[in-house]
A = this chain, B = another copy of it.
C-alpha cells in the first residue's frame, strides 16, 4: 500500500499553557498528511478531487491516537502515513509522528468517500471509491 512522509514544524500557537502541542492539533497534522498522500497519489489536490468526482469530501467516521512522547514549539517532525486498507466506500489510514527515530504519536483514521444523497441533497451518503483512486491508493 502507498506510504508518504510529510514534514511539520511545530508552531508556538499549536502549544498550550503546559508548553506542549495541544493534542487536537495532532489530528490537523494527520489530516494534512492524508491530504499530502492523496496529492502524491493522484497528482492533484482535494478541491480538484472533489470537483472531478462530484463528491463532498472524505470525512472521518472513526479516529484514534496514542500519544507517546510530547512535542513542543520548534520541533520539526515527520508524519509517516500509510493506506492500511481500501474497502468499497471507505478506507483506513495509519499515521506515525516521528521525532527523529522516536515514534511520538500513532494514529488511525477511517474515512468515507462521501457525496450528496440523490434522494435528499441535504444528506451525505457513502459512494463507491472509483477504481482508479483505489488503485492509486494501493500504490
Contact = CB atoms under 8 A, between A and B. Distances in A.
Contact of A73 (B13, B47, B56, B65): B47
Nearest to A61: B67
B35 A11 contact: yes
Interface string A37-66: 001000001110000000011011111111
A32 interface: yes
A62 B60 CA distance: 18
Interface residues of A, number: 39
Contacts of A128: none
A17 interface: yes
Contact of A31 (B24, B31, B56, B59): B24
